[in-house]
Amino acid sequence: MYRRTRHDRPATDPQPSSLPTPEPTTPVDPQAAITVAPTDAAAAVAHGAPAPTDAAAAQPLRPAVTPPIAAASLVAVDPGPPAPHRRGRFRRTFVVLTRTAVAAVLLAVTGLVGLALFDMAYAQFGSHPDKDALAWSEHTPAYSLDGGCAGCHTVEAGHVRGSWHKDLRCETCHGPQALHAATATRTELGDVAVEPPSRDICRRCHERVAGRPADFPQVILSTHYEGAECAQCHGVHQIIAVTPPLISHPRTNLPDCIVCHAPEGIKGLPDGHKASTDAVCMTCHKPGKRLELDGVLE
């Protein structure tokens, strides 16, 4: 009952599909419709015009579907000769597609304008985590991203690589590279210099402080050659472990004798000695030998 072939109805028929249309079991003779509703303009137009493509065909039909003559018009318009309307259908499809395209373009333009207005007016106050995360990721770093100090400072970098500090980054002691880039010239070290490498730098890590791991190298500052600079014995970049020079004096990585044994030095000169050069000292004191408290060579 709900199946309807294309030939049951003319292509130009604007009959709403939702209307319950009685399906004739046999095609009704068009002439019979005219006899039933002779004054119906629709019937006349439907049969008279071979290709009714405009409102002229549809409009007059409307009054025909009014209740008093509904049954008659339904019978009248439902069947129709299918053949002459092929061209009209094609043209109508073209019109429909054109309209759809125009409507789509209008919708797109309206949407874009609306989005732009929204972005300008309201959306700037909305929450935009993606944009903000991107902004955070674009901050300028102060510490170098790749530790690229060794490109220029090859000698120092080589010394560090051979030392106990081989796993340290330059910026751990010298501070952020950005300060260096901002202030340093060829003659001026700028803010990154640790000049001279003082106890204040070394004690940050190597002073004995409660809580430090027991196996970490650390000293009690007050009893560890107070007055001397760490680098005098331990070096600057070529930091190596130094055997405490209390008893024996291995001449490796040590400064001149008078650095520590000058009159005002850590261990002042005994009476009768004068500050001199290493060569003079070593005429009597052989390096590496044990020195008795009374000053007599062993």
Partner 1 sequence: MTALSRRELLAAGVLAVPCLAGAQTLIGRALASDPTKAAGTEAETAYDPKAHEWGFVVDTRNCIGCGLCVEACKDENHVPRDPELNRTWVERHTQLPDGTLLVEAPEAGGAGFPVDPVTLAPMAGPKGDSAFVPRLCMQCDNPPCVSICPVSATYKTPDGVVLVDQERCIGCGYCVVSCPYGARYIVPSGGDSPTGNAGVADKCTFCYHRITKGAQPACVQVCPTRARNFGDMNDPLSPVSILIRDEQTVTLRPEVGTKPRVRYIGLPSQEL
Kindly report each contact of residues 172-179 with a partner whose C-beta sits within 8 Å and lies 24 or more positions away, as own/partner. Answer: 173/201, 174/149, 176/142, 176/143, 176/144, 177/142, 177/143, 177/144, 177/148, 177/149, 178/140, 178/141, 178/142, 178/143, 179/142
Helix (H) or strand (E) holding 235: none
Q: What span, in angstroms and rounded, lies between the C-alpha atoms of 78 and 46?
A: 10
User: Contact between 221 and partner 1 (CB under 8 A)?
Assistant: yes
Residues comprising the chain, all counted:
298
Residue 219, phi then psi, degrees to nearest 5: -130, 155
> In sequence order, which residues have a C-beta less than 8 Å from that of residue 163 and are 6 or more positions away?
235, 237, 238, 239, 240
Under the criterion CB under 8 A, does residue 210 sit at the interface with partner 1? yes
What SS3 class is residue 207? strand
Residue 153 lies near partner 1 (rule: CB under 8 A): no
- The tokens for 93 are 């499809």
Cα gap 166→149, rounded to integer Å: 14
**Residue with Cβ nearer partner 1 (122 or 294):** 122
Total residues at interface with partner 1 (CB under 8 A): 59
Tell me whether residue 168 or residue 297 sits nearer to partner 1 (CB atom): 168
Candidates 117, 142, 155, 266; binder of partner 1 (CB under 8 A) is 142
205 touches partner 1 (CB under 8 A): yes
- Closer to partner 1 at the Cβ: 3 or 186? 3
99 contributes a contact to partner 1 by CB under 8 A:
yes
In the list 35, 50, 216, 290, the residue contacting partner 1 (rule: CB under 8 A) is: 216
Q: Which range binds partner 1 by CB under 8 A, 91-99, 245-253, 261-269, 275-283? A: 91-99
Our finding on whether 166 is near partner 1 (CB under 8 A) is no
209 binds partner 1 per the rule CB under 8 A: yes
Of residues 192 and 281, the one with the C-beta less far from partner 1: 192
Binding site for partner 1 (CB under 8 A): 14-18, 53-55, 58-59, 92, 95-97, 99-100, 104, 125, 127-129, 132-133, 135-143, 145-147, 165, 167-169, 171-172, 175-176, 179, 203-205, 207-214, 216, 220-222
